[in-house]
Every structure is written in structure tokens, then in C-alpha cells.
Amino acid sequence: MIQQNLIKLYEKSFSENWDLPALSDYNGISYTYGDVAAQIARMHLLFEGLGINKGDKIAVFGKNSSNWCISSMSILTYGAVVVPILADFKPKDAHTILNHSDSVMLLVDKQIMDTLSEAELTNISAILSVENFEILSAKPSAKFKASHGKLEKLFKEVAKKPEDSTIGQDYFPTTLSQNLTVADSKAYILRKTVENENKTEFTFAIKDNLTQNVAGIIILKDLDMTQQVGELAYAMDKNFEGKGWMTLAVKELSKYAFDEIGLKTIKIISHRTNLGSCKIAVKNGYVWQRILKNEHTPPNGSPLDMELYELNAGS
């Protein structure tokens, strides 16, 4: 519960202060809240690529800095355990702490790393620089090098800027495949109309009032009226993002689901690096619950762990 409250606090801060300054070093690097969120997302991808699990220990050994904070926040929000080591600890003491803590990864100042013996770190499988998150391991494993080497490419694929977004293609492949022609779209609309009337699934288009062009789609699906639970899924055309329309749509459909359909709990499932989707959930009061392992497999992609958010009636 404490961890969930802390993560909720982080998410709320990121969402409400996205473009404001968050961290800075004296005469050095500065980060906005959005920058911090993006760097944390990168670190999560690296942890995931290395096979680090929830509850694993990751040590942070260095002087106070913005990147020290980001390192610790990345570990906490991933669900791992931070092992902080004071920068002025002697190498012998540091070796003892690292080995007895069962830490599997180390983020450390390069200057401090020069005083340590990597051969004596029996459990550490990956070492990164706190200053720039580059590899410091003398003999990094092939898995570590591969995960680190493709990090930026992977981050760009799963956390595209709004103008490059393909969220609809990644997360609504079935929907798109059913709307390749006008005839297909008419049949799709007819099916969705029947589903709406039968209250098995509710699909809504979001339109531009001026042009009547479809700007996005939002679906209330996987309805379990016995448990009074449902799930929201949504996607926005790249040309209409940033207007707040989806945030409003989620707010209104959530209210409709509670007041008119009688649901007690609504879920939103999103990838941690899909910052826009997570931000919409948090803005509407949805609370992060847990990580769903291998929950979603995008077209021609590998299974992805997803983040589960929930909103309860009356909250």
C-alpha cells in the first residue's frame, strides 16, 4: 500500500507539472518533470530487458545528484528495492554491503567505481554510471550489452511523440483490420450498434465539431455485470492529440459507466512508457494497482508487461 501511494504521488506530480523544472545540478544538467518521467521509462525498459524482477535489489552508490534521484525513483517505481550506499564509504565496506545485500545491479559514480574490484562483487550482473547511465562493467554480458544498446530504439518505439504516434495500430489492431474499406466500416458500425443496444460493449467515436472528422475512439469493454467490472480502452488520432479531448471522454464515459450501467470498478490497462495514456488515467482519478506480466502482444512484437489502473465508484 505504501509503495502504491508513493507511485500515485509520483504520477500525480508528473501529470500536473509536466513542463516545469523538477531536478537540477549546480552548474549542471536540469530535468523537467516530463524529462524525469521519460528517463524513468527508459530505466524500466532496461530493467525489463535484463530480467530484473519485482523485489530484486539494485544498489545506488554515488554523490547527491539529479541522476541519483532518477536512479532511485526508477528502482522504486519498477517494484525493485533500492540499496543506497553513502558516497564516502570505503571500498571494503562497499564490497561487504553490495555482496550481503544480494544486489543484482549497481548504479555508481565512475570515480567511485575506479576504487572497487568488480571481481569481488559476486552477485552484481550489471554496472551503470550514475552520471550518464553508460555501461561501466568491465566485461558486460551479451544480454546487458544488447539490452543497453537497443534501449533508445525501443524507447522510441513504445514512447513515440504525439506526431509519430501509432498507438491505434499497436493497441487496436483488430479494430483497424475491420475498417479497411467503407463496406467493412459500415459492417463494423452495425456490429457495434448491436453491442451497444445489448450492453455487451460500448464503442464511441470522438469527432471534431467543426469538420465532423473522427478524432479518436473510446471503448468500454470486457463487461462483467456479475462483478460489476469493465475496462476502458482508447486511442487518439495524432492530429488531435494534446487538446484534452480524450481526458474529457474518459471522464464522461467513466461517469456513464458508474451512473447508467451500474459498474463498481473500471480498469485502464496501459504500457508504462505510454506516458500520454497513463497521464489521462491519473488525471481522471484512476489509481495504479500493479504490473500485469505479458498482458499485451502488439502486432509482430514481443509480449509486454502492462500497468493496471482502477477507478472505483464513489472515489
Share of the chain above pLDDT 70, in %: 81
- The DSSP bridge partners found for residue 268 are 232, 309
Residue from 227, 232, 287, 289 nearest 263 by CA: 227
pLDDT at 269 over 70: yes
Over residues 214-257, the pLDDT tens digits come to: 788 888 988 998 999 999 988 887 788 888 999 999 999 999 99
Alpha carbon of residue 5 to chain centroid: 16
Return the pLDDT at 184: 53
Return the pLDDT at 146: 87
Q: Report the predicted TM-score, pTM, of the whole model to 2 decimal places.
A: 0.54
pLDDT at 72 over 90: yes
Q: Tell me how crowded residue 27 is: count the other CB atoms within 10 A of its CB.
A: 5
Cβ-in-10-Å burial (0-12, 13-18, 19+) of 49 comes to middle
Average pLDDT of the chain is: 82
Three-state DSSP at 134 gives coil
Return the pLDDT at 315: 80
Residue from 1, 7, 2 nearest 288 by CA: 7
213/215 Cα distance (integer angstroms)? 6
Over residues 160-201, the pLDDT tens digits come to: 433 333 434 444 545 544 544 545 554 555 566 656 555 678
Return the pLDDT at 166: 40
Look at 47 and 165; give whichever has higher pLDDT: 47
Over residues 31-41, the pLDDT tens digits come to: 888 888 888 88
Residue 285 — very low, low, confident or very high, per pLDDT cuts 50/70/90? very high
Return the pLDDT at 242: 84
Share of the chain above pLDDT 90, in %: 42
Look at 27 and 291; give whichever has higher pLDDT: 291
Residue from 91, 92, 56, 97 nearest 76 by CA: 56
Query: What is the pLDDT averaged over residues 253-275?
Result: 91
Three-state DSSP at 224 gives strand
Q: How many residues does the chain have?
A: 315
Return the pLDDT at 188: 57
67/133 Cα distance (integer angstroms)? 9
Return the pLDDT at 160: 42
- The DSSP bridge partners found for residue 83 are 59
Phi–psi pair at 5, nearest 5 degrees: -65, -40
Q: Tell me how crowded residue 131 is: count the other CB atoms within 10 A of its CB.
A: 20
Which alpha helices (DSSP H) does the chain contain, by range? Answer: 2-16, 33-49, 66-78, 91-100, 110-113, 142-149, 151-158, 167-171, 173-177, 182-198, 245-256, 275-283
Domains of the chain: 2-158 (3.40.50.980), 162-312 (3.40.630.30)
Return the pLDDT at 180: 47
pLDDT at 286 over 90: yes
Look at 245 and 273; give whichever has higher pLDDT: 245
Side-by-side strand order, sheet with 287-296: 202-207, 214-224, 229-236, 265-270, 304-312, 287-296
Residues 123, 99 contacting (CB under 8 angstroms)? yes
Query: What is the pLDDT averaged over residues 82-91?
Result: 95
Return the pLDDT at 81: 95
Residue 98 — very low, low, confident or very high, per pLDDT cuts 50/70/90? very high
Return the pLDDT at 183: 52
∠ CA(91), CA(92), CA(95), 5° rounding? 85
Return the pLDDT at 204: 83
